[in-house]
Amino acid sequence: MTATRIPVRGDSPYDVVVGTGVLSELPGLLGPGVRTVAVVHPAGLPEISRPVCGALEAAGYEVVSLPVPDGEAAKTVQVAAELWSAFGRYGVTRSDAVVGVGGGATTDLAGFAAATWLRGVKVVHVPTTLLAMVDAAVGGKAGINTPEGKNLVGSFHPPAGVLCDLATLVSVPRPDYVAGLAEIIKGGFIADPTILMLIEDDPAGACTPEGEHTRQLIERKIQVKADVVGADLRESGLREILNYGHTLAHAIERVEDYHIRHGEAVAIGLVYAAELSRLDGRVGRDVVDRTRWILEAVGLPTAYRKEAWPELREHMRVDKKARGSVLRFVVLDGVGKPGRLENPSEELLETAFREVAR
């Protein structure tokens, strides 16, 4: 099957290329003038970087392989500093490029390192997990974590391109693949209800790369994000809707010290955001019930331990969407109709959580 090219518009337009066996598209995404390519990849998964390095070497580039810690452990200022030092040692210039290969944490780190080296060098992402393909690698957000919160240090640095080779999904462990579905489901609730209908039609198929609707689900979610970030790169308005479910999700990740999959935390956050929407009179219980049913049908969690609320509430105070002391939530005014809830009462926040903690 031929590759699909999904354009991301804006001041720095680029394409997201989706297909099976599409690694040959990588040199075209790098563009002209690049001599040295620094390939950032998880140290624990060298096999995912070998085909990328091989394709680049075959195309004539000088390739530098830079392994980093797996998962969120990579997203620290210490690891970023190690990459900057490596870029200097290997002579990465402003006309060269960085390629991030791996999951969302790796592409976040690679994007941040590229954005801050020499005030910005070209980066191309090759996401190898479902979550990274449909969310993290698309949109130009790059960042690292601090003890105070997730992604609080970062920049907007659009990639020169994103290459989603669906063949890599076959080797993704099932729990990780299912966790990636949370971001796809989020896209259905905020913008494209057809996504929800496709999953409802075949929940078991949605849980596997070989599912009947898999490619359509991936491309639809990428299109949702492309439309949003193309219109609002710097989250000055529209882009904020992509944070639906994420305020509680990021707090859960902090409480769990990131020993929970991002998609699992997002799934719980989606239920919480739906409950906030219902309790604020914006949607009926049917939307909450539908949220729970879809998430549970693919095996994602929909509840969290009730005793964690005080700690979760404290972590939400430093959420990126907060403005001063005003906490902001993305909620629903209907399926496919996101809205905003500013400065909700403590009673509303806690009541919604009790529904998630039941």
Tens of pLDDT, residues 158-214:
999 999 999 999 999 999 999 999 999 999 999 999 999 999 999 999 999 999 999
Chain-wide mean pLDDT for the chain?
94
State the Cα–Cα distance between residues 321 and 324, nearest whole angstrom: 10
What was the pLDDT predicted at 127? 97
DSSP 163-232: EEEGGGGGGS-HHHHHHHHHHHHHHHHHT-HHHHHHHHH-HHHHTSTT-TTHHHHHHHHHHHHHHHHHH-
Among 137, 139, 141, 135, residue whose Cα is nearest residue 156 = 141
Residue 294's CB is within 10 A of a number of other CB atoms, namely 23
Give Rg (Cα) of the chain: 20
What interhelical angle do 262-279 and 246-255 show, nearest 10?
A: 130
State the Cα–Cα distance between residues 140 and 123, nearest whole angstrom: 10
Torsion of CA 311, 313, 318, 321, to 10 degrees: 150
Q: What is the tally of helices (H) and strands (E) in the chain? A: 14, 11
CB of 136 closer than 8 Å to CB of 186: no
State the Cα–Cα distance between residues 298 and 308, nearest whole angstrom: 25
Q: Phi and psi for 81 in degrees, rounded to 5?
A: -65, -35
Q: Which domains does the chain have, with CATH numbers?
A: 4-171 (3.40.50.1970), 174-356 (1.20.1090.10)
Quote the tokens at residue 44.
């624990």
What was the pLDDT predicted at 323? 56
Stated pTM of the model: 0.93
Binding residues, by number, are 70-75, 104-108, 128-129, 141, 150, 183, 246, 262
Q: What's the full length of the chain, in residues?
A: 358
Catalytic annotation, residues: 119, 141, 183, 225, 235, 239, 243, 246, 250, 262
Residue entry with tokens 């392989």? 65
Q: Which residues of the chain have pLDDT under 70?
A: 1, 236, 319-325
What interhelical angle do 214-231 and 174-190 show, nearest 10?
A: 50
CB of 154 closer than 8 Å to CB of 146: no
Instruction: Outline where the chain has alpha helix (H).
Output: 26-30, 46-58, 77-89, 104-116, 130-131, 174-190, 193-201, 203-206, 214-231, 246-255, 262-279, 285-297, 309-316, 346-356
Among 83, 25, 30, residue whose Cα is nearest residue 51 = 25
State the Cα–Cα distance between residues 66 and 161, nearest whole angstrom: 20
What was the pLDDT predicted at 10? 87
Binding residues for NAD(+), by number, are 70-75, 104-108, 128-129, 141, 150
What was the pLDDT predicted at 54? 95
Rounded to 5°, angle at Cα 190 from 188 and 194: 30
Question: Can you say whether the dihedral through the CA atoms of 68, 74, 77, 80 is positive or negative?
Answer: positive
Binding residues for Zn(2+), by number, are 183, 246, 262
What was the pLDDT predicted at 324? 59
- pLDDT tens-digit profile of 65-77? 999 999 999 999 9
